[in-house]
Structure 1
Amino acid sequence: MGAPVIESLRKHTKAYLDCHLMVTNPLDYVEPFGKAGASGFTFHIETSKDNWKELIENIKSLGMRPGVAIKPGTSVEAVYPLFFSQVEAETPVEMVLVMTVEPGFGGQKFMPETMDKVRILRKKYPALDIEVDGGLGPSTIDMAALAGANCIVAGSSVFGAPEPAQVISLLRNSVEKAQLTY
């Protein structure tokens, strides 16, 4: 999906359109996604180590909420510099997306070891939105929610279910229940 899809969707909804870009140069996509009506723009730290400040500034200037994603093999410490900037008085990123599978295609198996990153982030940044993406469904949601994830991306488990609304309800209830514990 790209900016044209976001633009088409925006015409029919006021819903939050969370855009996670798995691209090598996310700076090239900020303006098109902002103009299309994206609500959030999440980029990978692995491709933005040298220009994340400029990237976040551009994301915010177009009215989008900045988020940063980390792949399973990237240490959680890689995103710490994005939470406090000597120049800014505010938090540069508003969400961290912990990938619970290798980026690239749907239907992969959830990697439980990635939950350590979620736990560390929740403890260090209690008010942070922590999103998880990959292999989330009825059998893995409690593990993610109890680790501290409060934003869930679910594709195959929802769209492949006979009753998608039931799966969505189960996922939502698990996250809401877990939030009472932290």
Structure 2
Amino acid sequence: MAETKLIAPSILSADFSKLGEEIRKVEKGGADIIHLDVMDGRYVPNITIGPPVIESLRSITDLPFDAHLMIVEPERYVPDFIKAGCDMISFHMDACIHSHRLVDYIKSQNVKAGVVLNPSTPVNTLEEIIYYIDYVLIMSVNPGFGGQKFIPETLNKVKKLKKLMEETGRTDILIEIDGGININNIGDVSSAGVNIFVAGSSIFKAEDPAEMVRKLKEKALYIEV
């Protein structure tokens, strides 16, 4: 069976004055997921979008919505993001008091639940929660801003996560990566075992975003052995 390889354009780098048009471009290029970076100005310095914007976008595409909550006390707001139409929700465990409870709630609403590892967060923090989550989002930049450079040591973290997945029998978990993904490094990242590739600037700053989505997917699917 072919390994799952999905392209998830991040609208953080899109033109916010015409988000609908921007989403249609990447959808035309074969995007698999729309990635939504939610920032509150507290967990990270930046402030972005919330449930009202997501709800307004829900009517223009059938692609899954993947909400990355970079917010404190995510448990307070998750119900609103589910109501807005998110299909996947990930949060930072250091921003939540009861991670297991929140994961359980998200999954009870038929939404995929994920947790996030910052660049300095070790993989072993997942040892207890890994039995319950659907995916892990590995940050390959420090969260809060788009357009940053990929941290190369992230590939070692992917390998450690793959090992933990094998040890715990959770090889069905999807590995998502976010930060600095572009046409030059997506092949190596894919070969390391990543399944979902979040790309913002490399897609929306390209001359033809749809064509860039196609190229990224082609590179991700070609795995060197």
Q: Distance in 1 between matches of 2:216 and 2:157?
A: 20
Do structure 1's residue 54 and structure 2's residue 94 form an aligned pair?
no
Q: Distance in 1 between matches of 2:83 and 2:206?
A: 34
Match of 1:150 among 195, 210, 223: 195
Q: Distance in 2 between matches of 1:5 and 1:63?
A: 21
Do structure 1's residue 14 and structure 2's residue 62 form an aligned pair?
yes
1:124 deviation in Å? 3.5
2:50 equivalent in structure 1 = 2
1:172 equivalent in structure 2 = 217
Do structure 1's residue 79 and structure 2's residue 126 form an aligned pair?
yes
Do structure 1's residue 102 and structure 2's residue 149 form an aligned pair?
no
1:155-182 superposed Cα distances (whole Å, 9 cap, x missing partner): 000001112122211221222223x86x
Return structure 1 stretches of 4+ with deviation > 3 angstroms: none
Match of 1:112 among 138, 152, 161: 152
User: Number of residue pairs matched?
Assistant: 172
Q: Distance in 2 between matches of 1:4 and 1:79?
A: 31
2:74 equivalent in structure 1 = 26
1:89 equivalent in structure 2 = none
TM-score normalised according to structure 2 size: 0.72
Unaligned runs of 5+ in 1: 85-91
Unaligned runs of 5+ in 2: 1-48, 166-170
1:68 deviation in Å? 0.6
Do structure 1's residue 134 and structure 2's residue 179 form an aligned pair?
yes
Match of 1:64 among 86, 104, 111: 111
Superposition RMSD in Å: 1.5
